């Protein structure tokens, strides 16, 4: 549940890095499909707002109800992964709560900015799209309990409809800008290979989950161990059996394309023939031996072609979006935003805001 109070910072936790990664990953789904730029809207601090105004971008306003709708609907996923105490943990120099709030704020601001750009380009929702927005809002609102509604500051079906309109218009703008972008991606550019690996680590983790490199003695011992494993392979030992026995990395098999691994790893991997095993080489993780099990993974390569095309489209969109956003007047109601805090409430269970939206707008 989202309440109004002062946000605090509590003790650091050793899974902070995982939490930070989760925050980053989950924040992306708020405008899924809109091809968001890498540069979110930055909002300056100011005063003179109405009581329920979180921020303004030009004449476009984000209300407290909107902000809480996004926050409440994102909250449950975090608690399922890490428990309800997650909001008391830190992710780097910030609390998880701070990170989530920042990501939600940036994403809502991005949608508002995209809608302003859509209006400038004469893009609007058609009657059938408005009908779907209305139906989606009705369906989602019917799922809410009194506790859900209260947690979102007394949100109404009309408020949900407004959120869905903003989402649909932002998606339509993105589709308009990238509609003519369809680059041809060659097999070589998208080629994905698959390798198996044996990694002998040259670092440990401290109590906070941070990497601590081995000293020279420990590192030399790791090298001796890796060399010994390679000698067994050279003498005919089964790579997979040794991998099961000795690999210290979280993954035993990796599929990646060019640019998908660190340079030292990639250089060795792409130089191998099918079923060829590398000698021992050093990466940031430790001493490594890899076996190429596929020099051309067709299924993964085709999937990467799609990903590369999507990346190109986002780049094109980002160029227009970034230059436009730089011209906008952006203001944040700092006092109100800082007063919002996340607290668990067993009665608040809603998490389907975007699930229902994507049911009606599956490609947006």
| 301 lies in some domain | no
Looking at the structure, tell me whether residues 166 and 207 fall in a common domain: no
Average pLDDT (175-201) is: 88
Whole-number Å distance between alpha carbons of 235 and 225: 16
Per-residue confidence band for 221, with pLDDT thresholds at 50, 70 and 90: very high
The pair of structure tokens assigned to 37 is 């730029």
Torsion of CA 340, 341, 342, 348, to 10 degrees: -50
**Whether the predicted pLDDT of 199 surpasses 50:** yes
Which region, left, alpha or beta, applies to residue 48 given φ > 0 means left and ψ of -120 to 50 means alpha? left
pLDDT tens profile 115-162 = 999 999 999 999 999 999 999 999 999 999 999 999 999 999 999 999
Query: In the chain, where does DSSP find H-type helix?
Result: 16-28, 64-82, 96-120, 127-142, 146-151, 157-178, 187-190, 216-234, 239-246, 263-269, 298-325, 334-339, 353-360
Asked if residue 283 belongs to a domain, the reply is yes
Mean pLDDT of 262-279: 94
pLDDT of 38 reads 52
The CATH number covering residue 327 comes to 1.10.4030
Range of the domain at 149: 2-182+312-360
The pLDDT of residue 264 is above 60 = yes
Within 8 A by CB and 6+ apart from 130, the residues are 165
Question: Are residues 63 and 121 part of one domain?
Answer: yes
**Per-residue pLDDT tens for 320-364?**
899 999 999 999 999 999 998 887 788 888 889 999 999 999 987
Residue 286 is part of a domain; what is its CATH number?
3.10.50.40
How far apart CA 97 and CA 81 sit, in angstroms, is 15
Tens-place pLDDT, residues 72-123: 998 877 777 777 777 767 666 678 888 888 989 999 999 999 999 999 999 9
Indicate whether 150 and 249 sit together in one domain.
no
Higher pLDDT, 262 or 33: 262
**60 has a pLDDT exceeding 60:** yes
Shared-domain flag, residues 112 and 221: no
Rg (CA), the chain: 25
| Res 7 pLDDT > 60 | no
Cα of first residue to Cα of last residue in the chain, in angstroms, is: 28
Domain identity same for 332 and 280: no
- Per the model's pLDDT, the better-predicted residue between 26 and 157 turns out to be 157
How far is Cα 325 from Cα 39, in angstroms, rounded to an integer? 9
Choose the final residue of a domain: 243, 268, 295.
Answer: 295
**Of 295, 326, 351, at which residue does a domain stop?**
295
For 122-125, the CB contacts below 8 A with 24+ separation are: 123/169, 123/172, 123/173, 123/176, 124/169, 125/165, 125/168, 125/169, 125/172
Is residue 29 located within the same domain as residue 124? Answer: yes
Angle, helices 16-28/96-120, rounded to nearest 10 degrees: 20
| Mean pLDDT, rounded, of the chain | 85
Of 302 and 4, the structure prediction assigns the larger pLDDT to 302
Whole-number Å distance between alpha carbons of 86 and 47: 32
Q: Encoding tokens for residue 318?
A: 């980002």
Quick check: 280 pLDDT over 70? yes
Query: Would you state the pLDDT for residue 304?
Result: 83
Number of folded domains in the chain? 2
């Amino acid at each position: 549940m989202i309440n109004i109070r002062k946000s605090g910072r509590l003790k650091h936790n050793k899974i902070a890095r995982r939490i930070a990664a989760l925050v980053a990953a989950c924040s992306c789904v708020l405008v899924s499909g809109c091809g968001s730029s890498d540069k979110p809207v930055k909002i300056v601090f100011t005063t003179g707002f109405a009581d329920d105004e979180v921020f303004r971008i030009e004449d476009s306003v984000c209300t407290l109800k909107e902000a809480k709708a996004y926050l409440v609907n994102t909250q449950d996923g975090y608690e399922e992964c890490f428990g309800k105490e997650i909001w008391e943990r830190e992710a780097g120099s910030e609390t998880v709560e701070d990170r989530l709030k920042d990501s939600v704020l940036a994403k809502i601001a991005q949608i508002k900015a995209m809608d302003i750009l859509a209006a400038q380009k004469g893009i609007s929702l058609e009657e059938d799209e408005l009908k779907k927005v209305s139906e989606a809002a009705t369906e989602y609102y019917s799922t809410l309990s009194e506790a859900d509604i209260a947690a979102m500051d007394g949100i109404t079906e009309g408020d949900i409809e407004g959120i869905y309109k903003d989402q649909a218009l932002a998606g339509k703008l993105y589709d308009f800008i990238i509609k003519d972008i369809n680059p041809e991606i060659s097999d070589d550019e998208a080629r994905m290979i698959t390798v198996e690996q044996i990694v002998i680590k040259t670092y440990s983790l401290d109590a906070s989950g941070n990497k601590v490199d081995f000293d020279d003695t420990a590192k030399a011992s790791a090298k001796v161990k890796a060399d010994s494993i390679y000698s067994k392979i050279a003498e005919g030992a089964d790579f997979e059996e040794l991998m099961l026995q000795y690999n210290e990395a979280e993954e035993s098999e990796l599929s990646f394309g060019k640019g998908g691994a660190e340079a030292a790893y990639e250089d060795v991997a792409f130089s191998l023939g099918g079923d060829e095993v590398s000698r021992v080489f050093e990466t940031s993780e430790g001493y490594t031996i890899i076996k190429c099990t596929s020099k051309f993974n067709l299924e993964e390569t085709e999937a990467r072609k799609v990903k590369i095309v999507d990346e190109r489209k986002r780049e094109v969109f980002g160029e227009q979006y970034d230059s436009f956003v730089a011209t906008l007047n952006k203001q944040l109601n700092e006092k109100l935003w800082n007063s919002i805090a996340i607290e668990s409430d067993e009665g608040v269970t809603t998490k389907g805001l975007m699930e229902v939206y994507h049911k009606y707008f599956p490609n947006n």
